[in-house]
Amino acid sequence: MKKVLVLGAGQLARMMQLAGTPLNLDIKAFDVRSGKVVLPIAPHHAYGDLAEGIANADVITAEFEHVAHDVLAECERSGKLYPTSESIKIGGDRRLEKSLLESCNAANAKHHFVNTKEDFDAAISKLSLPIIFKSALEGYDGKGQWRLKSMEQAEQVWLEMAEFISASTTQVKQGIIAERMVPFDREVSLVGVRRVNGDVAVYPLTENHHTNGILSVSLAAPVHSTLQEQAGKVFKALTDKLNYVGVMAIEFFQVGDELLVNEIAPRVHNSGHWTQQGADTCQFENHLRAICDLPLGSTALVRPTAMINIIGEDTIPDNVIAIPSVSLHWYNKSKRAGRKMGHINVSGDTEQQLAERLLALSVYLDEKAFPDLAEFALSLIHI
Ligand code: ATP
Ligand code: MG
């Protein structure tokens, strides 16, 4: 039985445990807040501290990219960490991420690094409005972002950003990336996996919808082969460059027939949760297979599947699971506004059947908590 230690004890570690247990993998997680090693699905009992967790593990991985650098260094010294600390850090710092994209010639939005007022002015003249500014470190769910649409807002936006930078207490110096706003047709992501020997497998591109900056719905259905091919090439280039091991997600903007990379996540990803019901092997199992150096599982789409995030709600009507092919996944977290509490996977034999099930689901769900679901379901019916 291989023993895996996951850095971070949230829902991603929990779903790794649920997926890894049938493979006889022993999954524990390091809770960065308490400093204790726990079982992700039963976090109340502690199994020692980080040093003990490292000593007891055969393999170490991370469920999030904002792990403290000293923790990463300690894990890396053990020779058990997959992917490398370099890969994890790149996902946590947009400056490193942009450098990686440039070094792999991966198309991305035109950008400029901003630390001072001079940089800010230079960004405006280089990129032209509208511009989106993002904090280099600690960004997630659209947090740490400013949008500049007209020059009247410029002074205010700069003041807010300057205050944000100076108030930052990060170990590495905080900074800002200015990016040209991309007039995208849609947002898609590619989740894929790479094994130590360089074997790669990617899932079909997933279409993503956001509400208030947070992922609300992902759709996996058969995709256009040229887009899939483009995304696959980017995945191969980035993961080969990093000698990456495990699951990585790449978020793209689709503009016409072109994909621009938005950002990468060096881990299992929310836009890959549909794989639990919609793919031959789910992303959590494939991540574990990769880091434990086991053969990768098929990433084939079994049937069209959508994932709906449950955000800020801790109950939904029981009747939703009476709808065929509706699966509920709670994360056992306490309720907080804007918090990802769980998700619902819905599958259909055809996109039409999936759309009908989504529509049936939307009838049970509170429209305030799931704002655009009925509309999304109807948009699929019209395809
Ligand atoms: P998450 O954690 O959900 O991935 P994040 O905080 O890391 O989000 P981004 O993914 O970079 O941040 O941005 C959040 C959303 O803002 C994107 O999904 C997209 O809708 C929008 N956005 C970001 N950058 C751009 C851009 N250059 N042009 C247009 N829209 C953008
Ligand atoms: Mg994102």
Residues with CB under 6 A from ligand 1: 109, 132, 134, 139-143, 179, 181-182, 187, 210, 213, 215, 251, 262-263
Residues of the chain with CATH 3.30.470.20: 186-381
pLDDT, one tens digit per residue, over 243-263 is 999 999 999 999 999 999 999
CB 190 within 8 A of CB 269: no
What residue ranges of the chain are covered by domains with CATH 3.40.50.20?
Answer: 3-81
Each residue of 74-114: pLDDT tens digit?
Answer: 999 999 999 999 999 999 999 999 999 999 999 999 999 99
Burial group, residue 359, by CB count within 10 angstroms (0-12, 13-18, 19+): middle
Q: What average pLDDT does this structure show over 48-73?
A: 97
Q: Does domain 3-81 have CATH number 3.30.70.260?
A: no
Phi/psi at 61 (5° precision): -145, 180
pLDDT band at 382 (very low <50, low <70, confident <90, very high): low
Pairing state between β 131-135 and 145-148: antiparallel
The SS3 call for residue 313 is coil
Residue 328 confidence (pLDDT) above 70: yes
Give me the pLDDT at residue 348, please.
Answer: 97
CATH classification number, 186-381, choose in 3.30.470.20, 3.20.20.140, 2.70.98.20, 2.60.120.890? 3.30.470.20
Take residue 323 and report the two structure tokens written for it: 């709808």
pTM, 2 dp: 0.96
Q: What is the mean pLDDT of residues 231-240?
A: 98
What is the 251 CA–ligand 2 centroid distance (Å)?
6
335-341 long-range CB contacts below 8 Å, 24 or more apart?
336/312, 337/312, 338/141, 338/212, 338/214, 338/311, 338/312, 339/311, 339/312, 340/11, 340/214, 340/270, 340/309, 340/310, 340/311, 341/310, 341/311, 341/312, 341/313, 341/314
With the C-alpha atoms ordered 231, 86, 170, 97, is the resulting torsion angle positive or negative? negative
* E-strand stretches of 138-265: 145-148, 176-180, 186-194, 200-202, 206-211, 214-220, 246-255, 258-265
Q: Is the CB of residue 22 less than 8 Å from the CB of residue 75?
A: no
- Structure-block tokens of residue 256: 């016409």
What integer is the mean pLDDT of 123-151?
A: 91
Best mutation site among 262, 269, 273, 307 for ligand 1, i.e. most ligand atoms within 8 A of its Cβ?
262
pLDDT tens figures, 271-299: 999 999 999 999 999 999 999 999 999 99
- Read off the pLDDT of residues 178-206 as tens digits, 9 standing for 90 and up: 999 999 999 999 999 999 999 999 999 99
Q: Tokens 């069209």 — which residue?
A: 304
22-46 per-position pLDDT tens digit: 999 999 999 999 999 999 999 999 9
Check whether 212 has a pLDDT greater than 90.
no
Query: How far away, in angstroms, is 333 Cα from ligand 2 center?
Result: 22
pLDDT band at 139 (very low <50, low <70, confident <90, very high): confident
Residue 142 CA, ligand 1 centroid: distance in Å: 6
Strands 26-31 and 3-7: parallel
CATH node for 110-180: 3.30.1490.20
